[in-house]
């Protein structure tokens, strides 16, 4: 059974880039009858906020994503401490005392010598006496993981074969001087403990994956390696990666703009893949979900594509889906009449005002004769979808005016717009009283 996880940090609102990973993890779990873990990576106590955690969950629910289990890393500190002791006892986690200034000086020296700017492992030779002296002087160690020699390889589900040589990397810091465990460490412990066997994340984690595979082997040498899928990062219109730190396309902003949750989820499920964008629900998308169909090239977040998909999505919504979001009193007949002309559901309010309220009529002096005849030939109610055709045929026969010269002034007089829903459907909704009033005003 596939076990995946989505692991947001509650340091800001979800943006389209990390929401995409949530959608893809969810689809992978549902496509294979697996489980999705929501893991809140909140070990950064300075930047993590409960209001962001709540917002993340609200946004996921809005997208239609649910999860089978939730954990918070802040509640697992004892487990991380236990895992750290395992690494210390095996000699793979070692204390360091260099300041950031000292490390910067070392990197500068290595660069001057045209050597790679990796950590020199000087603290591995630290004696017990030297450590005690440093701590007696008020210094507290941070802890680095000693990487293995050689290379780490895996068959990536998106990028294909990957190899990272560990001797080209610095031994990573796993625990800060204040005792806070870092993501590289906590993620591996959680993935091992909770049986995560497929990890879907951004391409920016490729090097990190090599480190975590090595760390995983150090903690549990006989545990099977999970499958990895690294997706190229979604870029904005300028070719820069989406980021909550730069205010990039947050879900909340898209929601405020009136984009449907289903359209966003469907867009994020397919952008960057070989499959066409379709206005499908998540359950439908899960049926054909396949990570192998995603490209190795970075996709662009295209608002125009999203709006086009949103339009298709809105057009397919049933009245029962939108009843509570339409203006009070709006009927199923109204919804069926206008939905095919909407880009955003919020635009329905304008058309409700057209059929049930007041609308501004432009100057139609040039079409006065046609409008006066239309008023004279207006049939009595009740009206239905055939009324428009029989009425306009009668007007055309009397005036000799046909086509655009007939329909355009009538549309302007009745709706105030040059384009819109079919008037055969709108006319019965507007009703004889409003039609008479508007034609009278327009033909004066």
Can you tell me the distance from the alpha carbon of 434 to that of 427, in angstroms, rounded to the nearest whole number?
Answer: 10
pTM for the whole structure = 0.90
Q: Between the CA of residue 17 and those of 8, 10, 179, 314, what are the distances in Å?
A: 11, 15, 31, 23
Average pLDDT along the chain: 94
Q: What is the pLDDT of residues 11-60, one digit of tens each?
A: 999 999 999 999 999 999 999 999 999 999 999 988 999 999 999 999 99
Whether the pLDDT of residue 173 is over 90: the answer is yes
> What CATH architecture is 79-175?
Alpha-Beta Complex (3.90)
Whether the CB-CB separation of 165 and 150 falls below 8 Å is answered with yes
Q: Strand 93-96 to strand 198-202: parallel, antiparallel, or no bridges (unpaired)?
A: unpaired
Tell me: the pLDDT tens digits for 295-352?
999 999 999 999 999 999 999 999 999 999 999 999 999 999 999 999 999 999 999 9
- Token couple for 221: 């040498």
Q: What is the DSSP string of 1-16?
A: --EEEE---SSS--BH
3-state secondary structure 67-81: CCEEEEHHHCHHHHH
Asked if pLDDT for residue 242 goes beyond 80, the answer is no
| Of 31, 15, 4, 1, nearest in space to 63 by CA | 15
Q: What pLDDT sits at residue 248? A: 55
**What are residue 151's DSSP bridge partners?**
165
The single residue listed with the structure tokens 């294909």 is 160
| Pair of tokens at residue 240 | 């820069």
What letter would DSSP give residue 191?
Answer: H
- For the chain, where do the domains classified as CATH 1.10.10.350 start and end? 326-444
Please tell me the distance from the alpha carbon of residue 197 to that of residue 226, in angstroms, as a whole number.
4
Contacts of 440 (CB under 8 A, 6+ apart): 375
Which residue intervals of the chain bear CATH 3.40.50.620?
A: 1-67+184-316
Residue 302 near residue 235, CB atoms below 8 Å = no
Assess contact for 44 and 80: CB atoms under 8 A.
Answer: no
Tell me what pLDDT residue 198 has. Answer: 98
Q: What is the pLDDT of residues 369-427, one digit of tens each?
A: 999 999 999 999 999 999 999 999 999 999 999 999 999 999 999 999 999 999 999 99
Q: Give the pLDDT confidence score for residue 201 in this predicted structure.
A: 96
Please state which CATH class domain 326-444 belongs to: mainly alpha
Reported as a pLDDT band with limits 50, 70 and 90, residue 241 is confident
pLDDT tens track for 178-224: 999 999 999 999 999 999 999 999 999 999 999 999 999 999 999 99
User: Which neighbouring-strand residues pair with 201?
Assistant: 230
Mean pLDDT of 248-273: 92
Q: Residue 412: its pLDDT value, please?
A: 95
Tokens of 173: 């810091």
Strand-strand pairing, 93-96 and 142-145: antiparallel
Tell me what the mean pLDDT of segment 363-371 comes to: 90
CB 258 within 8 A of CB 346: yes
Q: Residue 401 has what pLDDT?
A: 94
Q: How confident is the model at residue 245 (pLDDT cuts 50, 70, 90)?
A: low
- Name the residue with tokens 């697992």: 76
What is the C-alpha separation between 282 and 240, in angstroms, rounded? 28
Task: Specify the CATH number for 1-67+184-316; select among 3.10.129.10, 3.40.50.2300, 3.40.50.620, 3.40.50.10490.
Answer: 3.40.50.620
Task: Using pLDDT thresholds of 50, 70 and 90, give the confidence band for residue 444.
Answer: confident
Q: 196 phi and psi, to 5 degrees? A: -70, 120
* Cis omega (within 30 of 0) for bond into 382: yes
Name 173's Cβ contacts closer than 8 Å, sequence gap at least 6. 96, 142, 143, 144, 145, 182
Question: Is residue 432 within 8 Å of 374, Cβ to Cβ?
Answer: no
Nearest one of 67, 2, 72 to 229, comparing CA atoms: 2
CA dihedral for 307, 313, 317, 321, sign (positive or negative)? negative
pLDDT for residue 375: 95
- The pLDDT value recorded for residue 150 is 92
Rounded CA gap, 279 and 299, in Å? 19
Strands 151-156 and 142-145: unpaired
Tokens of 195: 């049986």
Exposure on the CB side of residue 156, measured as CA atoms within 13 A: 25
Take residue 390 and report the two structure tokens written for it.
């029989």
Write the pLDDT tens digit of every residue in 226-240: 999 999 999 887 777
CB-based contact 263:313 (threshold 8 Å): yes
Phi, psi of 296 (to 5 degrees): -85, -5
Q: Quote the tokens at residue 95.
A: 């204390």
| Intervals of CATH 3.90.800.10 along the chain | 79-175
According to DSSP, the residues that pair with 308 across neighbouring strands are none
* Contact assessment for residue 186 and residue 73, using Cβ atoms and an 8 Å cutoff: yes
Distance between first and last Cα of the chain: 74
pLDDT of residue 240: 77
What is the percentage of the chain residues whose pLDDT exceeds 70? Answer: 99
Burial of residue 255 (CB within 10 Å: 0-12, 13-18, 19+) is: middle
107-142: per-residue pLDDT in tens?
899 888 888 889 999 999 999 999 999 999 889 999
Q: Give Cα 7 distance to the centre of its chain.
A: 14
Six-digit token string for 148: 């293995």
- Helix, strand or coil, per DSSP, at residue 153: strand
């Amino acid at each position: 059974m596939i076990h995946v996880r989505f692991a947001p940090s509650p340091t800001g609102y979800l943006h389209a880039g990390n929401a995409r990973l949530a959608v893809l993890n969810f689809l992978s779990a549902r496509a294979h009858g697996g489980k999705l873990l929501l893991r809140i990576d909140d070990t950064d106590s300075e930047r993590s906020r409960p209001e962001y955690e709540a917002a993340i969950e609200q946004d996921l629910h809005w997208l239609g994503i649910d999860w089978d289990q939730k954990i918070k890393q802040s509640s697992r500190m004892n487990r991380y401490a236990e895992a750290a002791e395992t690494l210390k006892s095996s000699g793979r986690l070692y204390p360091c005392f260099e300041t950031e200034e000292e490390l910067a000086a070392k990197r500068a020296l290595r660069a001057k010598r045209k050597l790679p700017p990796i950590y020199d492992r000087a603290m591995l030779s630290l004696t017990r006496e030297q450590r005690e002296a440093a701590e007696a002087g008020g210094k507290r160690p941070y802890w680095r993981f000693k990487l293995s020699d050689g290379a780490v390889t895996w068959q990536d589900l998106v990028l294909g074969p990957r190899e990272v040589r560990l001797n080209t990397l610095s031994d990573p810091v796993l625990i800060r001087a204040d005792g806070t465990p870092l993501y590289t460490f906590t993620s591996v412990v959680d993935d091992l403990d909770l049986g995560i066997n497929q990890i879907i994340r951004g391409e920016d984690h490729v090097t990190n994956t090599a480190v975590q595979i090595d760390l995983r082997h150090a903690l549990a040498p006989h545990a099977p390696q999970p499958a990895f899928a690294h997706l190229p990062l979604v870029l904005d219109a300028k070719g820069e990666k989406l980021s909550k730190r730069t205010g990039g396309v947050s879900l909340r902003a898209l929601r405020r703009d009136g984009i449907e949750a289903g359209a966003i989820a469907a867009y994020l499920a397919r952008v960057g893949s070989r499959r066409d964008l379709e206005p499908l629900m998540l359950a439908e998308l899960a049926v054909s979900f396949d990570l192998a169909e995603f490209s190795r090239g970075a996709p662009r977040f295209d608002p125009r594509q999203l709006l086009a998909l949103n339009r298709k999505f809105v057009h397919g919504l049933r009245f029962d889906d939108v009843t509570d979001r339409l203006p009070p009193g709006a009927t199923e007949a109204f919804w069926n009449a206008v939905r095919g002309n909407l880009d955003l559901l919020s635009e329905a309010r304008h058309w409700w005002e057209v059929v049930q309220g007041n609308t501004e009529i432009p100057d139609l002096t040039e079409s006065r004769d046609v409008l006066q005849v239309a008023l004279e030939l207006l049939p009595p109610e009740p009206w239905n979808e055939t009324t428009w055709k029989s009425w306009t045929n009668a007007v055309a026969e009397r005036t000799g005016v046909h086509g655009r010269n007939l329909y355009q002034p009538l549309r302007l007089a009745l709706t105030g717009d040059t384009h819109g829903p079919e008037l055969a459907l709108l006319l019965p909704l507007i009703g004889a009283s409003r039609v008479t009033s508007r034609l009278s005003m327009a033909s004066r």
